[in-house]
Structure 1
């Protein structure tokens, strides 16, 4: 399911809030709100901005880490992963 970068969390919707947040953050990364190797908003900022529990925010970030869109640095925050290297075409 695709989410818009400026969407709000629908607490009554069929998609769990952490999946909604992951989708919104994914869309914001794709839109270029945060550049590669630069931090995204802190957990505290995301909690306040989206009105979610910290555990929900952490779960959403874990989804993005699993997708390799972001990486976390202990005591520093969560950063946008570098863009993947373009693959060279196979020479046949």
Structure 2
């Protein structure tokens, strides 16, 4: 089942898609929209918890999905950053 999530969506806890997957798709949509430029930090885990309301573990899991897909990268002690898009992703 594929569902589209936009950059302005909120997490639907009663929906069929897990909250961490919804958050990952919302963050992906915000990156695609240009909310965060390549090599710039996204908001902290704490800020994403405040903004979207999930548990911190849910935020971490969503970020992990995007890191594994190459959308984000983590710099220890600095934060999570938007990866450069390769030419084939554009």
CA shift, 1:83, in A, is 1.8
Superposed, 1:57-76 pairs within 5 Å as 57-76=59-78
Q: Which is higher, the Rg of structure 1 or of structure 2?
A: 1
1:82 paired residue number: 84
* Structure 2, gaps ≥5 residues long: none
TM-score by length of 1: 0.90
Deviations 1:9-35 (A, max 9, x none): 000000000000000000000000000
* Greater share of helix: 2
* Ranges of 4+ aligned residues in structure 1 off by more than 4 Å: none
1:52-91 CA-to-partner distances (Å, cap 9, x unmatched) read 11100000000000110000011111000012145xxxxx
Tell me the C-alpha RMSD between the 2 structures: 0.9
Structure 1 gaps of 5+ residues are 87-92
Q: Count residues with an aligned counterpart.
A: 86
- What SS class does the counterpart of residue 20 from structure 2 fall into? helix
